Amino acid sequence: MPEPEGLRERKKRETRQRISDHATALFAIRGFDQVSVSEVAEAAGVSRMTVINYFPLKEDLVFDRTPDLDERLATAVRERPAGNSFADAVRDLMLDLIRRRHPLGGFGANFHHFWAMVWDSPPLRRRDLELAAETETAFAGVLAEETGTGPEDPRPRLAAAVLMATYRALVRQGVRTTATGAPLEKLLPGHLRVVEEAFGDLAGGLADYGRASRD
């Protein structure tokens, strides 16, 4: 059971979130390239150095949820039910994110505005790819840990690459689907079916890899 969050940790988390929220609002109104770190600091009521301490790169103000994704992926794999594979764990995580309209699932109102900003900005596109590679590497480490394999075994890296490519493709599909403007409740069943089918297509190669056996 995780330890209760201390007051200092809570304040740090709240400050980080406040900075991120103000940055997101400014970027949405004026565009990423037109907003400075100093302006983000002023809007959030903190110093410029405080912003840099929490977000060393300006681009990371946009991708503030990446650590959350890394943690969720690791938890999904480590706590997967008996009989479930790594692919099952990632599928179930994604279905849950989508049903809850979580930003990491890519399915929700106005998410397409966020991704349009990313896709229109070369610095943000580059940072997105860098963070995706870091997440994939970290996820491969979790898979290796779960299977007890060493660095000479390529399977954790290959599985992480396939699963994260599937995840990213489905996030983009969700963004494009919701950008149509149709009611989310009408779009949801079809999108969930797309996710199920995508992971079903992986069944031949990854269905048994990392299948949990809980004693």
DSSP characters over 138-201: HHHHHHHHHHT--TT--HHHHHHHHHHHHHHHHHHHHHHHHTT---HHHHHHHHHHHHHHHHHH
Cα separation of 69 and 135, whole Å?
8
- DSSP single-letter state for residue 136: H
pLDDT at 206: 67
pLDDT at 210: 63
The residue written with tokens 């809570």 in the block is 10
pLDDT at 110: 80
Give the type of residue at 174.
G
pLDDT at 211: 73
CB 16 within 8 A of CB 61: no
pLDDT at 3: 55
The neighbour count for residue 201, using CB atoms within 10 Å, is 10
pLDDT at 214: 57
How do the pLDDT tens digits run along the chain, 215 residues long?
455 668 888 899 899 999 999 999 999 899 999 999 999 999 999 999 999 999 999 999 999 999 999 999 999 999 999 999 999 999 999 999 999 999 999 998 888 888 999 998 999 999 999 999 999 999 999 999 999 998 889 999 999 999 999 999 999 999 999 998 889 999 999 999 999 999 888 866 666 666 766 55
SS3 79: coil
pLDDT at 208: 63
Cα separation of 110 and 24, whole Å?
13
- What domains appear along the chain, each with residue ranges and CATH number? 7-61 (1.10.10.60), 66-206 (1.10.357.10)
- DSSP single-letter state for residue 4: P
Quote the crossing angle between the two packed helices 155-178 and 111-119, to the nearest 10°.
120
